Amino acid sequence: MHNFFRSTSRSFMLGSLSFLALTGCAPYNTTLERITQLETQQANTRQQLDEMKGVANLALKEAQAGEKRNTGKVIESLTLTNDRYLFPFNTLDLEKADTTLLDQLAERLKSRGRDYHLIIQGHTEDVGSAEHNYLLGEARANAVRRYLHTNQGIPLQHMSAISYGATKPLSSANANMTIQSNRRLVIEVTE
C-alpha cells in the first residue's frame, strides 16, 4: 500500500512537472532538479522517521522495564529531610551528613547483590511555581542518583528518580511540623 502511494505520488508529480515544462511554464532542467531535491528530502524524512520510531520503541521498552522494577515490594525506606540535613533552600548541594547516610545505604545495597531497585523521590516545599518545584525536586532526586552511581558504583539501571514537587506535603503551614520538612527526599528500596 505504501509503495502504491509512493509511486502514484511520484507519477503525479512527474506528470505535473512535465506538463509545466512542455507548456513552457518551467525549464526542463529546473524541473528535474526540483524533482531530485524533493525525492532527496523525502528519503531524508523517511530515514528520520525510521530513526525516531527506533528511539520511541527503545523508550517504550525502557518504560515497561522500569514499571516492572517499580512495582516491587518496598523492603526499606530512607527519608532525608531539611530538619536533619539535606539541601539548603533552593540548592542541589548534598551536605556531608547526607552523603554519610547515602554511603551507609549503598553498603547495605551492595550486600544484597543485584536484587534491588531504588526509587528516589524528590519533594519540595510550596514556595514558587509548581513548575519550579517540580524541576527542583527532579534535580535533587537526580543529584542523589548521580552521587550513588559516581561515588558508590550503584548501577543507574537500579535507580529511578521521580519528582513530586510540592504535591505531597508532610505538613502544612498550620501544622506542628515546619513547612521546611516538606523539603525532603524519600528513597525506597524495592525487590
Question: pLDDT tens digits, residue range 70-110?
Answer: 567 888 888 887 544 455 555 667 778 888 999 999 999 98
Predicted confidence at residue 150, as pLDDT, reads: 94
Q: To 10 degrees, what angle do helices 96-112 and 130-152 make?
A: 60
Nearest-angstrom CA–CA distance, 4 and 16: 18
Q: Long-range contacts: 58-67, Cβ < 8 Å, 24+?
A: 66/160
Question: Where does the chain hold its CATH 3.30.1330.60 domain(s)?
Answer: 72-190
Task: Please tell me whether the overall predicted TM-score, pTM, comes out greater than 0.75 for this model.
Answer: no
Q: CA torsion sign, 171 to 176 to 181 to 187?
A: negative
Within 10 Å of residue 46's Cβ, how many Cβ atoms? 11
Q: How confident is residue 24, by pLDDT bands cut at 50, 70 and 90?
A: low
Helices H, strands E: what count in the chain?
4, 4
Predicted confidence at residue 85, as pLDDT, reads: 45
Predicted confidence at residue 30, as pLDDT, reads: 79
Question: pLDDT tens digits, residue range 36-49?
Answer: 898 999 999 999 88
Contact present, 189 and 70 (Cβ < 8 Å): no
Q: Decide which of 1.50.10.20, 3.30.1330.60, 2.60.40.10, 2.60.40.3140 is the CATH code for 72-190.
A: 3.30.1330.60
